[in-house]
Amino acid sequence: MVAEGLRIQDVSKTFTAPEGGSVRALDGVSLDVGTSEFVVLLGPSGCGKTTLLRAIAGLEDVDSGRIDLAGERLDTVPPFRRAVNTVFQSYALFPFLTVERNIAFGLEMERRPKAEIRQRVAHALELVELSGFAKRTPAQLSGGQQQRVALARALVKEPKVLLLDEPLGALDLKLRRQMQAELKRIQRSVGIAFLFVTHDQEEALALGDRIAVLNDGRIVQVGTPQEVYESPETRFVADFIGETNLLPVERDAAGTVTVAGQWKLVAAEIVGADEALVAGGDQVVLAVRPERVRIDPGGELRGVVAEAAYLGADVHVAIDMGEGLLINVRTDAQDAIPEVGERVAVRIDPRHTRLLSS
Amino acid sequence: MTGQADTRRYPGIGPAARLAFAFLYAPLAVVVAYSFNSGPIVSRWEGFSLVWYREVLERSDVRDAVWVSLRVAVAASAAGTALALLAALGIVAMVRRGSPLAVGFLSTPLLVPEIVTAVGTLSFFVLLDFERGMTTLVLAHTAFCIPFALLPIRARLAELDPAVFEAASDLGASGFRLFRRVTLPLLVPGIVSGALLAFIISLDDYLISAFVAGPTSTTLPIFLFGLIRRGASPLINAVSTLLLLVTVAVLTASYITGKWRKPK
């Protein structure tokens, strides 16, 4: 039991649409966030990740379940008294206040002494590297700078958890990368727990100490970036995070499985085989990442090169295994690039594959 | 080429538009032009003069009427705008709870025939045994100012990012402090624009004023109507021109403030 951090237990929330239908946005969600942990909520749009964030902030009531912060019940406290702060997707800066006054707002609400406010605002401006911009108004700032103000405005309150709702969504790719690194640096230096919502799996892998993958209002897997990438527990996770080959699998009574009709191997060699075969019956697939597939003349699977694209750092090859099945392969750009139409064999190490029920 | 551009090129559109403009503005042009007539007869031009403007400034009955109108307009637009602001915030809460009626109830007075409102307001005051005078004028004007002041305030509210209010709450603001520190500053352009619009509506009103005013509270429009019944005089043109000037100036200000600091 983590008494220190944020504890979400069995939280559910249903929205009623104006037309009368209802949407189950959160369906029995449980999650623990440690005191200085960077946790990413990852999922497709409409999976409930933003609703969960808003429930923690107090901007949305929950139907059932409870949320505790540092051992005290949080979900019954009004939003303006919660020790959590939010960085909104639209930044939601006050357009009529300068950068400095925007950041001071939360401390003024706490009725802090003027000297303390001045000192903490200056420190927050330094943290987000906007010291020269104190007197500007939000309209005079670029998107990236506005985003830093929103971050400073929330962080200056020293919340126990900082909630970030797709804060980098509006930035271009280069600025996004730069802000990711910056967020990581800031999180380490302030030591506050960050709960970060995104639909971008690359961003999730780059930022999270742990990633919670959501789908249809449920958390489907929680783990470190390596765990969710290397060991996806469901077909959804394997498919949503990164590129994955999902190969059809048949099995026989002797405990042997046949992949793509060509490659026979003992089921026990594959990670996750037991659960998948029990849960999925015959409906199982073998998941393998393109970079884990090797083009190798001695390989077990044979096909014809359908596509070969040079991408700079690496090469993407699609191999037609017959019957409409393609295996995607990523190889080093220094290797020989196979010709389209060439017959090749590929080798897959069973240790880098997972059997998943589909 | 778009269809819209094509329609504008139809033969006859240009002259028709010019005719419509002439129809709209010719009476105003006559009023303004004849306010500078040196002679006493409205229908005969005798030369340029500012004599009627001097008379406007010198006549105490004109001054009294202007003074009554200004006091009523200031009081009614202030009170009406304050009530409209509360109504606008109430509508937000009601719409959030799913009530489509709120907006309708507050906007209907814009469409009700003014004579009905005038008769209703008068009956109301008679029923309550109010003596007709400044108080009844201000009360009646406040009532019909509300829907007008509401228009720009609601427009402003609609274009604001609702997340700004959530951010304020998230940062620890609640209740009156949330209103004073965030809601009010965000709505200032709408409030100013609404107040100016209400001011003009009050200043120009004749019908309702005529029903509820007492003998000692003659507004400028009532005074002008009284004058014209005793025969048209260039004095009326001069007063009307000044009233037109004030109206255009205030409405321009209302339009400009409504566009202030438009959020992106």
Any B CB within 8 A of A20 CB: no
| Sheet of strand A314-320: strand arrangement | A293-295, A343-348, A301-310, A314-320, A326-332
Q: Which residues pair with A248 in a beta bridge?
A: A285
| pLDDT given for residue B37 in this prediction | 86
Q: Which residues pair with A257 in a beta bridge?
A: A251, A265
What's the gap in Å between the CA of A221 and the closest CA on chain B? Answer: 29
A157 with B171: Cβ contact below 8 A: yes
A80 with B164: Cβ contact below 8 A: no
Q: Chain B contacts of A57, Cβ < 8 Å? A: 166, 170
| DSSP code, position B219 | -
Sign of torsion, CA B147 B149 B151 B155?
negative
Quick check: B264 pLDDT over 50? Answer: no
Any B CB within 8 A of A292 CB: no
| DSSP code, position A17 | P
Tens digits of per-residue pLDDT, A333-348? Answer: 777 788 898 999 999 8
Size of interface A-B (CB pairs under 8 A): 72
Any A CB within 8 A of B171 CB: yes
| DSSP code, position B232 | -
Tens digits of per-residue pLDDT, A178-216? Answer: 999 999 999 999 999 999 999 999 999 999 999 999 999
Token reading at B72: 């009523």
What is the average per-residue pLDDT within B13-38? 89
Is residue B151 a part of any domain in this protein? yes
Give residue B8's pLDDT band: very low, low, confident or very high (50, 70, 90): low
CA distance B243 to B225: 14
CA distance B202 to B146: 11
Who among B170, B263, B264 is closest to A85 (CB)?
A: B170
Q: Which helix (H) or strand (E) holds A72?
A: strand A72-73
Is residue B20 a part of any domain in this protein? no
Is residue B166 a part of any domain in this protein? no
Residue identified by tokens 């002679």 is B39
Is residue B41 a part of any domain in this protein? no
Whole-number percent of chain B with pLDDT over 70? 92
Residue identified by tokens 């504008």 is B8
CA distance A186 to A156: 12
Q: What is the pTM of this model?
A: 0.82
Any B CB within 8 A of A244 CB: no
| pLDDT given for residue B5 in this prediction | 59
CA distance B168 to A43: 27
| pLDDT, chain B, mean | 87
Cα torsion through A223, A229, A234, A236, rounded to 10: 110
Number of domains, chain B: 1
Q: What is the DSSP string of A283-341?
A: -EEEEE-GGGEEE-TT-SEEEEEEEEEE-SSEEEEEEE-STT-EEEEEEETTSPPPPTT
Any B CB within 8 A of A80 CB: yes
Give residue B1's pLDDT band: very low, low, confident or very high (50, 70, 90): very low
Any B CB within 8 A of A90 CB: yes
Is residue B218 a part of any domain in this protein? yes
Instruction: Identify the closest residue of chain B to A153 by CA–CA distance.
Output: B171
The dihedrals phi and psi of B64, each to the nearest 5 degrees, come to -60, -45
Is residue B38 a part of any domain in this protein? no
The angle subtended at Cα B143 by Cα B141 and Cα B144, nearest 5°, is: 70
B169 with A79: Cβ contact below 8 A: yes
Any A CB within 8 A of B164 CB: yes
Residue identified by tokens 């400028």 is B220
| pLDDT given for residue B89 in this prediction | 86
Per-state percent for chain A, helix, strand, coil, to nearest 5? 30, 35, 35
Any A CB within 8 A of B262 CB: no
* CATH number of the domain enclosing B201: 1.10.3720.10
Token reading at B55: 């008379």
B169 with A106: Cβ contact below 8 A: no
CA distance A148 to A68: 28
Whole-number percent of chain B with pLDDT over 90? 46
Q: Show the low-confidence residues of chain A (pLDDT under 70).
A: 1-3, 18, 253-254, 271-282, 358
Quick check: B75 pLDDT over 90? Answer: yes
Is residue B122 a part of any domain in this protein? yes
Q: Chain B contacts of A88, Cβ < 8 Å? A: 163, 166-167
Give residue B99's pLDDT band: very low, low, confident or very high (50, 70, 90): low
Instruction: Identify the closest residue of chain A to B163 by CA–CA distance.
Output: A92
Tens digits of per-residue pLDDT, B140-179? Answer: 999 999 999 998 998 898 888 889 999 999 999 998 999 9
Residue identified by tokens 């969600």 is A29
| DSSP code, position A140 | G
Query: Which residues does A155 contact at the CB level (< 8 Å), separation at least 6?
Result: A85, A124, A127, A128, A162, A186, A190, A192
Residue bearing the bigger pLDDT, B42 or A342: A342
A80 with B181: Cβ contact below 8 A: no
Token reading at A78: 């009004």
CA distance A276 to A282: 9
Domain that holds residue B193: 51-161+187-260
Is residue B191 a part of any domain in this protein? yes
